[in-house]
Chain A
Amino acid sequence: AQTVTQSQPEMSVQEAETVTLSCTYDTSENNYYLFWYKQPPSRQMILVIRQEAYKQQNATENRFSVNFQKAAKSFSLKISDSQLGDTAMYFCAFEGAQKLVFGQGTRLTINP
């Protein structure tokens, strides 16, 4: 069974700083997808970024980028120039057999 581990329950940074959230996963599959989701207090799950395992190039979406290390089964999220609106729970997720397995989440707070 696939597992996803986020080892940082909480993080806090100052506005405009860069922050990196860690995620590791375990799977025996070779083709899969990885995601980062953001859940603000509104409860809405928002897709932040998506990575296809067969692509070596790291995905980037504006201020959000990932460091995907397939051999190490690591998938970290970097948020550059952090903004107050980035305050939320962040979940790393693995897609296998069209099901998502989520990590425990990291509560990120951006301070003014």
Chain B
Amino acid sequence: SAVISQKPSRDICQRGTSLTIQCQVDSQVTMMFWYRQQPGQSLTLIATANQGSEATYESGFVIDKFPISRPNLTFSTLTVSNMSPEDSSIYLCSVMTARTEAFFGQGTRLTVV
């Protein structure tokens, strides 16, 4: 298994500002993922973050809005840039282990006012 520490757990931000969410894993993993979960809905993949290369974004998500860093095999950050109220969501970090099991951080509840 993998233990993931994600922070902050929640934040209230002003529109137009940016927030960086951190994800720390207790073991080295190749693939890390960032998801968004809008209120009452399912999880939507934002991007896949691989160490040593640029993140791969899913349709509807762009690097300028959601820049991602992956400096090593245990850490990643997601920035939500130039926020608007529509960005209010839960953001989750996830990793996939060699056994093809996905583990998740506790999530960051973001409210943009």
Measuring CB to CB, which residues of chain A are less than 8 angstroms from any residue of chain B? 33, 35, 42-45, 47, 50, 91, 93, 95, 98-105
B42, A44: Cβ atoms under 8 Å? no
B102, A95: Cβ atoms under 8 Å? yes
B96, A98: Cβ atoms under 8 Å? yes
Q: Which residues of B contact A44 (CB under 8 A)?
A: 104, 106-107
B42, A47: Cβ atoms under 8 Å? no
B43, B94, B103: most-surrounded residue (chain A CB, <10 A): B43
Q: Which residues of B contact A45 (CB under 8 A)?
A: 43, 92, 94, 104, 107
Chain B, interface residues (CB within 8 Å), range: 10 to 19
- How many angstroms between the C-alpha atoms of A45 and B44 in the bound complex? 14
Measuring CB to CB, which residues of chain B are less than 8 angstroms from any residue of chain A? 31, 33, 41-43, 45, 48, 90, 92, 94, 96, 100-104, 106-107, 109
- How many angstroms between the C-alpha atoms of A42 and B107 in the bound complex? 9
Instruction: Choose one: B42, B102, B103, B106; the contact of A104 (CB below 8 Å).
Output: B42
Instruction: Knowing A102-B42, A105-B42, say if A43 contacts B102 (CB, 8 Å).
Output: no
- How many angstroms between the C-alpha atoms of A100 and B46 in the bound complex? 11
Chain A's nearest CB lies how many Å from the CB of B77? 19
- How many angstroms between the C-alpha atoms of A99 and B92 in the bound complex? 14
